[in-house]
Structure 1
Amino acid sequence: MEATKNSYDFIVVGAGPAGCALASGLARSAQKPKVLLLEAGGRNDDRSLRVDGKRWTTFMEGDLNWGYKTTPQKYCNGRELDYSRGKGLGGGSAINFGVYTVGARDDYDEWAASVGDETFGWKEMQARFKKLETFDSTITLPEHAKHANSVASDHGSSGPLRVGYAVNWEKDLSLSLDAFAAAGHKRNLDHNSGNPLGMAATINSAGSGRRTTAADLLLDAPDNLVVVTDTPVQRVILQGKRAIGVETQGSQYLASRDVILSAGALDTPKILMHSGIGPAADLEKFNIPVVADIPAVGQGLRDHYFVPLILARNPETNDRNTFFQDPAAMEAAMQQWEESNTGMWTRYGCQVGCGWFKSERITSTPEFKALSASVQEFMNRETIPHYEMITHLPIHFMLPDMFKDYSYIGLAAFMMNEQSLGEVRLQSSNPDIPLLFNPRFLENPFDRRACIEIYKHLLEVSRTESFAKDTVSTLIGPASDSDEDILEFWKSFLSSSWHMTGTVKMGKADAGDVAVDGRFRVRGLEGLRVADMSVVPVLTNNHTQATAYVTGATCADVLIKEYRLDG
């Protein structure tokens, strides 16, 4: 094993949203510590990967995706589900669908309460969100203003992440959003205010026709930040109970202060386990010497999931066929984007609507009332939704062989606050082989009942008079409105939202189900921390890239304060 000659103050493993926010924050502090950011994948610097309207296809790029699958899911008809994870600079933000939502203020206040530290409460987290973003509130057409209207004090104007609304919307988006209003649902003109309840246009992780990824946090980085790609970390190097570096395929990198793992909820536990940190019985099964028996490592996996409702529509309501049925038009649009970041690839697939909802139909069920009192109390808090709905999901990008007529609307229902708990576990002593991922979707009876009620609501919205008059047929949906057929539809069509969370859970020092404390330190070890979605103890009610960013930024603040790096 050949060790590198260089040593660093901090090593950050993983260049997704959390890792980039953390590494950038540390490196830009006044003391300018030497920071090494190690990424298993490549640089992802092909400009064409940033086309706003093609955000739905980058996850299909093999070099950008680890290509993970779940174990066969018992309650999903035995299916092995796609469990995509981003690979390369930007991590998940390089392959996600560009929805930028921060969640509910009650999510973060619950996080703070579970840790016993207001560092994680909404007030402090909102300040970090604002510091991260440059928000463009521009709505191009006056008639769209009823769907989006932000308060400047809830947003930032000088951060590295450009977020906002698409300049040009597809013409039937407003019609679809109006259908939710006609069904009696309030509009929420800014879902990033801390209260996501209500329906409106969605803030995107994009600006001026170009997708935003976590790699943007590394632009103009100081010389004391070193970024090394194509370097998978296999294990942490330990001297007794202290982390002193990391080992890759053939090299070692040393840290004088801390090693921080930011490889995500599926891969951070793998690195810990192959370093001898995790459930002792599992480690011993694969002849991995036990350094720290921490049963919580790999447990507590939670995730959002969704199913679609795809409706064929009157072609007069939209003009998608003029674009997607014309290869020449798409090619010309691509040339225009390459020249100026403008054109039809900044219109089609660039703006969706989403909303979060509560439902007494869910809270009145026996399955809800069977949940613990603490869970019921949390789900009844002012800003906590039970589910999410989306309009204008362009599913033809994912199922290209199914669609030749693009006059359709893709609606979707997302389960929030699912109660099934999954796990990730070792399957090999080889650190290059992924863990087994078992989210146990739909295992909890509450989840199954809630999914039925959620989809009934989506069907009702789709059948409002103002919307249904332009629906031609159902392309993808359940066989009937019965509870049995709706549940069977979930089992057959459920997809992960790729929001994996909680596998190296953070909590109070005396809690039995945690692996990390409120300062991101791995229990029982020195010099080793975790800062990514694996530590987040609440499955936040959003599309979790924003939570990953703020987790990394929060860890940077904690380390800067602890080591007096701004002094």
Structure 2
Amino acid sequence: MATTYDFIVVGSGPSGSAVAASLAQASSRPKVLLLEAGSNNEDRNLRVDGQRWLTFQNKEMNWGYKTTSQDHCNDREIDYSRGKGIGGSSAINFGVYSVGARGDYDEWARIVGDDAYRWDRMQARYKSLETFHNDIPAGIDKKYANPKASDHGTSGPLHVGFASEWERDVPAMIDDFERAGFPLNPDHNSGNPIGMSMLINSSYKGLRSTAADLLVPRPDNLTVIVDAPVQRLILKGKNAVGVESKGNQYFAAKEVVLSAGALDTPKILMHSGIGPANQLEAHNIPVVLPVPAIGRGLRDHCFVPLVYTRVKGDTDRAAFYGDQKKMDEALERWKHDSTGPWTKFACQLGVGWFKLDQLVSSKEFQALPDDEKKYLLHETVPHYEILTHFPVHWFIPQFPESALNYSCLLVFLYNAQTRGEVLLQSSDPDVPLRFDPKFLAHPFDRRAAIESLRDALRFANSDSYKKNNLADVAAPKSDSEEDLLEYWTQNVSSSWHMTGTVKMGKPGDLDAAVDAQFKLIGINGLRIADLSVVPVLASCHTQAVAYVTGLTCADKLIEEYKL
């Protein structure tokens, strides 16, 4: 006989783990089942801080998705990696822990008509999630990192903070930004990210943090089953009563919560007969509930690199990355006590979020809807991001060893107005959807791409930074609009921040599939809690938003069921 649980949660990424752990810890101790399509990901060696940039290459931990050919990116298919196994994408991401702007959450609350999403409420959840480690290396000036204790948590399951050792050119580069007229920010996670900051990492003392940490210690009322991909919901009329996984059935007495992510939650819904009727009918899937909004509204951040070789002595990277023996010895040291070069190189980065006056004065900005313009003018909402010290040599094919003494800046496009889509392409529930983010398809996006890259080049060409450059490894031909845009189309990558495919909104909103209580509108006993529901593409690297989305859904379930 199939076992019945109070709640079933599908997907163990940041959202799903947050939902499952919070429900299981409720005082009434409901029976919770967490189903994960991948494996346990238990090997501690998968959490080396400095190798966080490589983990996604592990094919057992990555669904290996690609986009469709992108019309505005020279018809390129772009990597669309998603994590597989306990921890979901937090097990393979790049460890950036940023929460975004106060204005993001106030806009979320406005769109859905619920103050539970306002910044003050969301910040309280963030503080409950984290144990923040404020230590910075001895001798480092606090102008580079000086968070207020009141903005951070001290007893949550997720350990975040600064690297225990920094590459010696990291503070120097922040100084270069300051000399070039870019403001400094002592804490990008205060609710106002504007300015240049030291990156807060989802790691501590050389060990990466992932959503798996929320499940430890595991309460006896929480059951976790791995290697259990969910193909579809079990429905009785318009009631969700369970899920099917590889021929097995699992039943929920209270609710099913889908947290499979913005690319896979729509797939489970569609194969359950919930979604755009024309797509379901084309693949002979009986329509239970036609919901045109499901699969639409896909949003994502994207980025391009700027890479320059540097004068001898500017960095120590060539001596480390160019010597396999040193890297092997460093790994053995990390295995022994979690210290050494793998806790230093590419572990402490600079990160900055900035406004663009030229973008605001553009005709493309002026053509936006009034609500969007008001949001983008909020004092805390940035228009683009720069990230420093990215180990780009692992990402450029045939990167020359002679160029390992380099500096890399990533330039991120924010607030894209394009709405992509995920589309059914098979009646087989194990076949992925088609993913089409439509990068750079909107005129505003192209204008924002040009202006953000131009502003980043203002730094790259500043005297204090440029004096140590030797040669361009990756950069646009010139600062003309044509060359800047062409550089984007040739080099753009996804930031893997997919959001918005089962959008939350107010009842009656044509683009909404989920209400402010996370309930799938039209189906009882079913909630969606992951980035697919978030109606704002937050001004950050979105793993943090996924965590707080799960925590918010759990709060609403605990309150509704008096758990």
TM over 0.5: yes
- Maintained 8 Å contact 1:179/1:462: no
201, 209, 212: which one pairs with 1:215?
212
2:194 & 2:473 partners in 1: Cα distance? 29
Q: Which amino acid aligns with 2:144?
A: H
Residues 368-413 of structure 1: CA distance to partner in whole angstroms, max 9, x if unpaired? 1111111111100111111111111111122363131321011011
Q: Which moved more, 1:311-320 or 1:500-509?
A: 311-320
- Maintained 8 Å contact 2:257/2:526: yes
Structure 1 residue aligned with 2:252: 255
SS in 2 for 1:177: helix
1:25 & 1:418 partners in 2: Cα distance? 33
1:118 & 1:179 partners in 2: Cα distance? 40
Structure 1 residue aligned with 2:495: 497
1:18 & 1:424 partners in 2: Cα distance? 20
468, 475, 496: which one pairs with 1:470?
468
Structure 2 residue aligned with 1:240: 237
Structure 1 residue aligned with 2:139: 142
Q: Does 1:131 align with 2:128?
A: yes
33, 37, 43: which one pairs with 2:34?
37
Structure 1 residue aligned with 2:406: 408
- Maintained 8 Å contact 1:308/1:412: yes
Structure 1: unaligned runs, 5 residues or longer: none
1:22 & 1:403 partners in 2: Cα distance? 45
1:125-524 → structure 2 map (5 Å cutoff): 125-399=122-396, 401-404=398-401, 405-524=403-522
- Maintained 8 Å contact 2:256/2:527: yes
Structure 2 residue aligned with 1:538: 536
- Maintained 8 Å contact 2:180/2:464: no
2:169 & 2:308 partners in 1: Cα distance? 13
SS in 1 for 2:465: helix
Q: Which amino acid aligns with 1:496?
A: S
2:546 & 2:111 partners in 1: Cα distance? 18
1:473 & 1:304 partners in 2: Cα distance? 28
1:238 & 1:209 partners in 2: Cα distance? 45
- Maintained 8 Å contact 2:299/2:419: yes
1:204 & 1:413 partners in 2: Cα distance? 19
Structure 2 residue aligned with 1:46: 43
SS in 2 for 1:317: coil
TM-score in terms of structure 2 length: 0.99
Q: Which amino acid aligns with 1:265?
A: A
SS in 2 for 1:247: strand
1:315 & 1:257 partners in 2: Cα distance? 64
Q: Which amino acid aligns with 1:412?
A: L
1:250 & 1:143 partners in 2: Cα distance? 57
Structure 1 residue aligned with 2:53: 56
Q: Which amino acid aligns with 1:381?
A: H
Residues 439-471 of structure 1: CA distance to partner in whole angstroms, max 9, x if unpaired? 110000111111111111111101111111100
- 1:144 Cα shift? 4.0
2:544 & 2:231 partners in 1: Cα distance? 27
- Maintained 8 Å contact 1:57/1:398: no
TM-score in terms of structure 1 length: 0.98
- Maintained 8 Å contact 1:13/1:37: yes
1:299 & 1:205 partners in 2: Cα distance? 30
- 1:315 Cα shift? 2.3
- 1:140 Cα shift? 1.1
Q: Which amino acid aligns with 1:235?
A: R
- 1:517 Cα shift? 0.5
Q: Which amino acid aligns with 2:27?
A: A
- Maintained 8 Å contact 2:2/2:249: no
- Maintained 8 Å contact 2:16/2:550: yes
SS in 2 for 1:542: coil
SS in 2 for 1:474: strand
Residues 288-320 of structure 1: CA distance to partner in whole angstroms, max 9, x if unpaired? 111111111000000000000001011211111
Identity %: 56
2:471 & 2:258 partners in 1: Cα distance? 49
- 1:480 Cα shift? 1.8
- 1:141 Cα shift? 2.7
1:276 & 1:450 partners in 2: Cα distance? 38
Runs (4+) off by over 3 Å:
none
1:412 & 1:517 partners in 2: Cα distance? 36
Q: Does 1:103 align with 2:100?
A: yes
Residues 116-136 of structure 1: CA distance to partner in whole angstroms, max 9, x if unpaired? 111111111000000000000
Structure 2: unaligned runs, 5 residues or longer: none
SS in 2 for 1:74: coil
1:288 & 1:143 partners in 2: Cα distance? 60
1:479 & 1:287 partners in 2: Cα distance? 50
- Maintained 8 Å contact 1:389/1:412: yes
2:27 & 2:323 partners in 1: Cα distance? 54
- 1:145 Cα shift? 2.2
Q: Which amino acid aligns with 1:257?
A: K
SS in 2 for 1:554: helix
2:287 & 2:400 partners in 1: Cα distance? 52
Q: Which amino acid aligns with 1:32?
A: R
Q: Which amino acid aligns with 2:508?
A: D
- Maintained 8 Å contact 1:270/1:435: yes
- 1:326 Cα shift? 1.6
1:410 & 1:192 partners in 2: Cα distance? 23
Structure 2 residue aligned with 1:13: 10
2:330 & 2:59 partners in 1: Cα distance? 25
- Maintained 8 Å contact 1:56/1:398: no
1:283 & 1:408 partners in 2: Cα distance? 50
2:198 & 2:413 partners in 1: Cα distance? 19
1:473 & 1:145 partners in 2: Cα distance? 33
- 1:174 Cα shift? 1.3
Q: Which moved more, 1:129-138 or 1:446-455?
A: 446-455
Q: Which amino acid aligns with 1:367?
A: E
- Maintained 8 Å contact 2:304/2:412: yes
Aligned length: 562
Residues 123-162 of structure 1: CA distance to partner in whole angstroms, max 9, x if unpaired? 1100000000000011113334221110000000000000
Q: Which moved more, 1:233-242 or 1:114-123?
A: 114-123
2:321 & 2:387 partners in 1: Cα distance? 21
- Maintained 8 Å contact 2:262/2:530: yes
1:418 & 1:126 partners in 2: Cα distance? 25
Residues 516-564 of structure 1: CA distance to partner in whole angstroms, max 9, x if unpaired? 0011100111001100000000000000000000000111100000000
